[in-house]
Each structure stands twice: as C-alpha cells, then as structure tokens.
Amino acid sequence: MKRFIIALTFLFALGAAQVSDPLLGRAKVSFSPIPESPPAIPGNAITPAKVSLGKMLYFDPRLSASQLLSCNSCHNLGLAGVDIQQTSTGHGWQKGPRNAPTVLNSAYNVAQFWDGRAADLMEQAKGPIQAGVEMNNTPERVVATLASMPQYVERFSAAFPDESEPLSFDNVARAIEAFEATLITPESDFDLYLAGDSDALTAVQKSGLKVFMDKGCVACHQGVNVGGQGYFPFGVVQRPAGSIRPEADKGRYQVTRTPSDEYVFRSPPLRNVALTYPYFHSGAVWSLEEAVTVMGSTQLGIQLDPQEASEIAAFLTALTGRQPVVDYPVLPPSTADTPKPELDVTAPAG
C-alpha cells in the first residue's frame, strides 16, 4: 500500500509538472530518455565475457592489416565516439569518403552507416575491417592473428562456450557488437527534463526545443536517439552546396540502386551532437549553428534567423549525456605465429 501511494504521488507530481510546463508534455510525445541499461541485441546475448572480449577487440589495432588502426581510431571513446576528422584516415593514410558517425548509442539506430547498408552492429563491425580504405584486412587473416595468441583463444572459448569453433570472424563481430551496445549515454539534461524535471533545461534550451518542434525538425529527429530511425533525402526543398553534399556520393542509392534513393541518407542521431563535429556525411560543417541553419533551408525550406539557430543549438547541447568511462584494456602479446604488419597500400592484405 505504501509503495502504491508513493507511485501515485510521483504520477500526480509528474502530471502537475506537465501542466505547468506544456512544452514537456509535447516533448514526451516525440522523445524518450536513454535507458540506464543497454538495449538487448536480438540473437546476441550481452554477457560479461562477451563484452570484455569485445572491448579488447575494439581497441586492438591488430585487426587491421597495418596493425596500426583499431575501431577506436575512427570511433574514439575519449571523443564521444568520433575522430573529429572531416573524413577518417585509414590504411596507408588514405582518406575515407564519409565522416565517421559516433558509435555512442548506435544500438538504437534503425541501421548502421550513413546509407544504412549494415542492418546491425555485428554487420557494421565487419565492414571497416575489410574495407581497403580503412583497415584493409581479411577475415582469414583476422582469425589467424587472433588464433596465434593463446589468451584470445581462451577468451573466445569463454565468450562462446556452446560453439564448436568459438574463434571465428562472425564471433569477432558479435563480441564487438556486444561491447558497442553498452556504449550508451544516459542522464543528459534532456533526459532529466523528459523524466519530469522542468528545471533541467535552461530558458534558452526550452526555447530551442520549442523551435525544434515548431519548425518541423522533429519530423526526422525523434525517438530515443533523437534521429537515426529513418531515411530522408538530403535536400528536400533546397539543394545543399556541393561541398556539403558532394555530387559523387548518392547515399542510399549506392545500396539499393533505386533512383528515388539518390542522395537519401539515414537521419543522423543527435545525441551528443555538440561533441561529434564536424557535421553531415561530408564532414564539411564545423559549427553546430551553421549545421542547424543548413538543415532549415535544405530540409524545411525556411531561413532560420540567428536567434532561432542559436536557440536550437543550445537545446542540442542538452542532448550530451553521461559519457561511458572505459578502461583501456591490456591486450594479449603477439607470438612468433602472429602475422606481421602489412603497410603497403597497393598489396592486398593476407
């Protein structure tokens, strides 16, 4: 009975807060707070052994042919899961074609990569390892590298105890997926606001939230990740500048080969966006306010005035959550059987 009374009191208080702050009621229709616990991954149970192994693999540069690049190179967990580069630098100092999205909260996205070509984080983990412009490796070489180190063999057996061949390229990706699913950022000021604390946002941030919803930004950026849930043309109303939307990159069309998907991209999630510059798939814009202004003109056909852009940018800073604290793992030492680094850009790995 006591618990019922406490719960009822909380609900009344929350209802009163929404009455005194109608904006909160509107926000709760379109947005959800980041939960404290990581989301479940269908077909890939998140276990401590798997997460621990995935963390090691995430930081291990020996997954790359050069043994210089790790997942953390382009998705630096000390930098909100990005590399603060216009486009990432890969094998042999090659430049990738797109800006690296943040890995934080990525388990909440409908799909991975700007064009959604990976259905989940497991599939995504395989891509950069094999891409010639990124880690330039092969599944066979990855497995041979890890199998040459007894500690990794033991770790895979512990993480995948029911499998006849625990150490496989698929399980490399599964372990990384399990670790990445834990990289969530709850307790942002906006989450506290959604939970009923009307004072969690400043007056300027509330004004920005109102403009964000009134102008229509919420149409593409909603849900728990404030985006990342759908695909939209970049340039719905007005074509962006060529430096922002390069003509050669046709987005999702390169996956589906459907003409209507030309220059269509997955909407970027806006969690921690104040920390994940530069912006857009091209990485061409470094200012959050400029990015907001570009989106207003290209997607909504409106010219946001400087105050509106500033207020929206202020609201977006409230999406910065508690950053994950990850201890750098001590990795197993290489052995005489571990393949040697391959640095030649022209020669295939393996």
Q: For this structure, is 134 an active site residue?
A: yes
CB 228 within 8 A of CB 259: no
CB-based burial label for 304 (10 Å; 0-12, 13-18, 19+): buried
Q: What is the pLDDT of residue 195?
A: 97
Half-sphere exposure of residue 318: CA atoms within 13 angstroms, side-chain side: 26
| Cβ–Cβ under 8 Å, residues 182 and 324 | yes
Listed residue (174, 161, 172) closest to 57, CA to CA: 172
**How far apart, in whole angstroms, are the C-alpha atoms of residue 333 and residue 149?**
7
Q: How far apart are the first and last CA of the chain?
A: 67
For residue 116, the one-letter residue type is G
- Model pLDDT, residue 5: 43
> Of 36, 123, 134, 140, which one is the catalytic site residue?
134
Q: Which of 2-11, 296-305, 340-349 has the highest mean pLDDT?
A: 296-305
Predicted pLDDT at 15: 53
pLDDT for res 246: 96
CB 50 within 8 A of CB 174: yes
pLDDT surpasses 50 at 146: yes
Q: Which amino acid is at 322?
A: R
Helices (H), 238-318: 253-256, 288-295, 306-317
CB 287 within 8 A of CB 105: no
Q: Do residues 11 and 3 touch, judged by C-beta distance below 8 A?
A: no
Q: Tell me if 230 sits within 8 A of 266, measured CB to CB.
A: yes
The answer, yes or no, to whether residue 290 has pLDDT greater than 50, is: yes
Which two three-digit tokens encode residue 278? 């530069």
Q: Does 4 have pLDDT greater than 70?
A: no
Q: At what angle do helices 306-317 and 203-214 cross, to 10 degrees?
A: 110
Is pLDDT larger for residue 63 or for residue 5? 63
Residue 265, pLDDT > 80, answer: yes
Q: Is the pLDDT of residue 347 over 70?
A: no
Tens digits of residue pLDDT in 173-226: 999 999 999 999 999 999 999 999 999 999 999 999 999 999 999 999 999 999
Whether 222 and 252 have beta carbons less than 8 Å apart is answered as: no
Q: pLDDT confidence of 345, banded at 50, 70, 90?
A: confident
- pLDDT tens, residue by residue, 21-59: 999 999 999 999 999 999 999 999 999 999 999 999 999
Predicted confidence at residue 3, as pLDDT, reads 46
What would the pLDDT profile of 298-338 be if each residue is shown by its tens digit? Answer: 999 999 999 999 999 999 999 999 999 999 999 999 999 99
